[in-house]
DNA sequence: TCTTGACCTTACAGTTGCTGGAAGAATTAA
DNA sequence: TTAATTCTTCCAGCAACTGTAAGGTCAAGA
């Protein structure tokens, strides 16, 4: 099948399919005489695999590693679990970060009257906070 | 003060301070005879303001808007609240996204034995289904 | 047969928000 | 005076694509 079909089935944009071939992540198994990329079911499955992994936030390099394991019938599940567990920890870290961000900003938004007057705790907080290095503001 | 001092006080790397000047976000008020950027307290406060806003995840364009409001003594707090509320909604959206990602991946990691054998629910899930969120079995 | 139009190719530029490095001028310390 | 530091500009590169230009291929219709 041509690249547009592979694109539709895998759920990836044509541009991205071509990009993944360029960087050697998932290549078309062969070319037509005119130079068109020809994909088969196995390649399309790999593309969809990568799409899913990317949705999970795995980096391209991690996808490379996962594709390797995906293709390796002798892999141990421990190898896969290790990568996924790292990813899980990273997601949890980001969740914490977002939560504190959210709480702080929500506090500011709630404190702001949101009227026509210039007094605004949000601006005040952004402007008046002390920086982390020199905590001695100018007089 | 020179750029390195402004950098230390504002908490931004020198490179970033120069970058913010290049893109017209926060410029040095003047230059020395030798062409060095000379910063004053007001400019440094703006740099620190942007640093805080960036920590909150405001984009450079949003920072531009916020700096405009920061400098405008006649702004209404409603203008600021609108931007911050949008940002808050965006953060909440990302939190939800991360949560479903986390739950799903955690489920897979728990289901994986992590031993020397090749059977791995993580790989299976990435490869064998169109979409594990809507657990539609393949036809 | 010619032409239209959909589809394919490569190559390069742009996105965001910086960061690193090179080459050279200015300042400061020893 | 010399060496080290700090400053300047400009160019390249990061991730992971996306957009655009210029052109080749292929099937179908007038």
Question: pLDDT-derived band of residue B127, with 50, 70 and 90 as boundaries?
Answer: low
Q: Provide the percentage of residues in chain A whose pLDDT is more than 70.
A: 91
Q: Measuring from the CA of residue B3 to each C1' atom, give the nucleotide at the shortest distance.
A: D7
Q: Which helix (DSSP H) or strand (DSSP E) does residue A20 occupy?
A: helix A14-22
Q: Measuring from the CA of residue A19 to each C1' atom, give the nucleotide at the shortest distance.
A: D17
Q: Give DSSP secondary structure letters for B7-51.
A: HHHHT--HHHHHHHHHTTSS--SEE-TTS-EE--HHHHHHHHHHH
Q: Regarding the domain delimited by A3-125, which CATH topology (the fold level of the hierarchy) does it fall under?
A: Multidrug-efflux Transporter Regulator; Chain: A; Domain 2 (1.10.1660)
pLDDT at site A78: 87
Maximal C-alpha separation, chain A: 75
A7 has pLDDT over 90: yes
pLDDT at site A128: 63
Question: pLDDT-derived band of residue B132, with 50, 70 and 90 as boundaries?
Answer: very low
- Measured in whole angstroms, the distance separating CA A5 from the mean position of its chain's CA atoms is 25
Coil, strand or helix at A38: strand
| A33 to chain B, closest Cα gap in Å | 31
Q: Under CATH, which number does the domain B3-75 receive? A: 1.10.1660.10
β-bridge partners, B46: none
Residues with CB under 7 A from strand C: A 2-5, 14, 18, 28, 35-37; B 13, 15-16, 19, 32-36, 54, 59-61
Q: Inspect the interface and report whether the beta carbons of A88 and B73 lie closer than 8 Å.
A: no
Task: Give the helix, strand, coil percentages of chain A, each rounded to 5.
Answer: 65, 5, 35
> Residue B100, class by beta-carbon neighbours within 10 Å (0-12 exposed, 13-18 middle, 19+ buried)?
exposed
pLDDT at site B41: 92
pLDDT at site A22: 93
The domains of chain B are located at 3-75, 79-128
Find and give the residue nearest to D18, measured CA to C1'. Answer: A15
Q: Inspect the interface and report whether the beta carbons of A76 and B116 lie closer than 8 Å.
A: yes
Greatest mean pLDDT among A75-79, A111-115, B11-15, B82-86: B11-15
| A62 to chain B, closest Cα gap in Å | 13
A104 has pLDDT over 80: no
| B-chain residues near A98 (CB < 8 A) | 91, 94-95, 98
* Better pLDDT: B29 or A121: B29
> A1-15, A35-49, A78-92, A121-135 — which is least confidently predicted?
A121-135
Q: Inspect the interface and report whether the beta carbons of B98 and A98 lie closer than 8 Å.
A: yes
B130 has pLDDT over 60: no
């Amino acid at each position: 099948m041509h690249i547009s079909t592979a694109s539709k089935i895998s759920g990836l944009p044509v541009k991205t399919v071509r990009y993944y071939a360029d960087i050697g992540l998932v290549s078309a198994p062969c070319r037509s005489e005119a130079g068109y990329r020809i994909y088969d079911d196995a390649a399309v499955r790999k593309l969809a695999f990568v799409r899913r992994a990317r949705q999970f936030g795995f980096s391209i390099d991690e996808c490379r590693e996962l594709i390797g394991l995906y293709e390796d019938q002798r892999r141990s599940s421990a190898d896969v679990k290790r990568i996924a567990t790292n990813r899980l920890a990273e997601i949890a870290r980001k969740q914490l970060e977002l939560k504190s961000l959210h709480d702080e900003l929500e506090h500011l938004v709630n404190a702001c009257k949101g009227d026509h007057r210039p007094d605004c705790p949000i601006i005040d907080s952004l402007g008046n906070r002390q920086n982390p290095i020199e905590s001695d503001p100018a007089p």
